[in-house]
Structure formats: C-alpha cells, structure tokens
C-alpha cells in the first residue's frame, strides 16, 4: 500500500492505495464517488474520463499512485453551485439518452472548453472522439457542446 495525496474537485484528499489500483477503482470503490463509469477498463470507451491537471484522461488506465500532488476533477465537481453550463446544455439538446457515457463525455468537453473556449465543430468532434456513445449518434452531444462555446 502507498499513500497518495491529491486534490479532488478542489478538496484535498489523502488515501492509501494498492500499487495496481487505478484512479477509477479508487474513485468508485475507495472514495465511493460513482459518477465516473467503468465501460471497458482497457481505455477504449472513454466512460471513465476525468480531468487531471487540466487534461482529460482515462481513469481506468491511470494508476492511483501517479495522481500524487495532482488535481483531479470528476463529474461530481461540476454541479456544486447549480448545473454547469455543459450539464444544462446536454439536457437542453437531448444529448443524454441512457446517460452512461455522459459523465465521461462532459469531462472531455469541459477539458476542451477550459483550454479552448471557442472550438470549431471539428475540434469538438476530435475532443470527444475517445468517448463512445451507443445511443445518440453523437450529433446531439456535439450540438450541446457547441451551445456552450
């Protein structure tokens, strides 16, 4: 076991983790925040996407020990003071169907808009190209993100 300290949605966290434990596992099962989803655990579906130090990453491939000293944002951190504009836009544009890809999708979109507030449509599609959606065909999701830029 190793000790890891990091910032989680703006709050400091210190926990014990096993070497092979992923950030996804730690979020869902150690800290108990289930907003981040497990779809494949091999980094192919994007459902586990969170933001670490401003970049969208796959928490299923992110070993927990590596998060030491870093800043992590998850979907739960977005609605502290009411809905984040992305969350509202996803609802308005019917970009939420089954909802399973939604947290990861929103985090990828947030990482994009934080770095690039006025992305082109192409940049939006690239930003979510690592997030699989089986329900909506991506069109409403791109519409929602475009609405917020």
Number of residues that bind another protein (CB under 8 A): 78
Q: How far is CA 127 from the centre of its chain?
A: 12
Find the shortest distance in angstroms from Cβ 5 to another protein: 12
10-39 binders of another protein (CB under 8 A): 17-20, 22, 28, 32-39
Find the shortest distance in angstroms from Cβ 84 to another protein: 8
Distances (CA, A) of 70 to 56, 64, 106, 144: 13, 11, 20, 29
60-99 binders of another protein (CB under 8 A): 60-63, 65-66, 68-69, 74-76, 78-79, 83, 87, 90-99
Find the shortest distance in angstroms from Cβ 12 to another protein: 18
Residue 6 contacts another protein per CB under 8 A: no
> In whole angstroms, how large is the CA radius of gyration of the chain?
15
Residue 135 contacts another protein per CB under 8 A: yes
101-120 binders of another protein (CB under 8 A): 101-103, 106, 108, 111
Q: Where are the beta strands (DSSP E) in the chain?
A: 2-8, 11-17, 49-52, 55-58, 71-73
Side-by-side strand order, sheet with 71-73: 11-17, 2-8, 71-73, 49-52, 55-58
32 closest CA partner among 52, 55, 10, 13: 13
Choose which of 8, 47, 72, 113 interacts with another protein (CB under 8 A). Answer: 47
Residue 132 contacts another protein per CB under 8 A: yes
């Amino acid at each position: 076991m190793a000790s890891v300290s990091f910032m989680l949605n703006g709050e400091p966290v210190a926990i014990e983790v096993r070497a092979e434990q992923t950030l996804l596992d730690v979020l869902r099962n150690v800290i108990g925040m289930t907003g981040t989803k497990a779809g494949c655990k091999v980094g192919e579906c994007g459902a586990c996407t969170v933001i670490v130090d401003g970049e969208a990453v796959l928490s299923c491939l992110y070993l927990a020990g590596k998060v030491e000293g870093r800043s992590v944002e998850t979907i739960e951190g977005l609605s502290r003071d009411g809905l984040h504009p992305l969350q509202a836009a996803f609802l308005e544009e019917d970009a939420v169907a089954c909802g399973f890809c939604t947290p990861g999708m929103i985090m990828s979109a947030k990482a994009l808009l934080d770095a690039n507030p006025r992305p082109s449509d192409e940049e939006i599609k690239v930003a979510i190209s690592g997030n699989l959606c089986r329900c909506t065909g991506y069109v409403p999701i791109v519409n929602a993100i475009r609405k917020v830029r």
